[in-house]
Amino acid sequence: MTFDDLYQEIILDHYKHPRNFADLSGLSDVHENPTCGDSLKLAVVVSDDGVVESIRFDGSGCAISMASASMMTEQLSGKRIEEALAMVGEFIGVMRGEKDVSELERHGDIAALGGVIQFPLRIKCATLAWHAFEKSVEKDHADR
């Protein structure tokens, strides 16, 4: 098994067995990547003292978008909101080519998405869930 195959395995595993996947059909906010047809909903719970308690997602789309959403929920749960948003910035920065892809290596499964930057059309698939997290958190703050 080559390095690339291993990464492929990790992405497929998240795609086939998405973590924190839930029925969120009751939510109205949909995040979409129309160029690929990816669509997802996100339910983020932040505690009063600013810790991301849980992130659940629902949706459908390509393997990259769903695997990235699954990894995002695992990666950001339990972090302080500032840390979670910093991680989002780091991930999106790597996907945009503004940060070195090696930045992802210390974040476990997410490193598997590093290969996506070689396929510019798929970058929005990978960043969809991360942008959705940002928007969800900002919206919650605005509601207060």
Q: How far apart are the C-alpha atoms of 50 and 81, rounded to whole Å?
A: 6
Compare residues 38 and 58 and give the one whose CB is closer to Zn ion.
38
From candidates 38, 40, 123, 126, binder to Zn ion by CB under 5 A? 38
Site for Zn ion in 83-102 (CB under 5 A): none
**Least distance from C-beta 38 to Zn ion, angstroms?**
4
**Least distance from C-beta 49 to Zn ion, angstroms?**
35
Q: How far apart are the C-alpha atoms of 37 and 22, rounded to whole Å?
A: 20
58 lies in the binding site for Zn ion (CB under 5 A) = no
Phi first, then psi: give them for residue 47, nearest 5 degrees: -70, 165
Q: Which residues contact 120 (CB under 8 A, 6 or more apart)?
A: none
Q: How far is CA 63 from the centre of its chain?
A: 12
**Least distance from C-beta 129 to Zn ion, angstroms?**
11
Binding region for Zn ion (CB under 5 A): 36, 38, 62, 65, 125
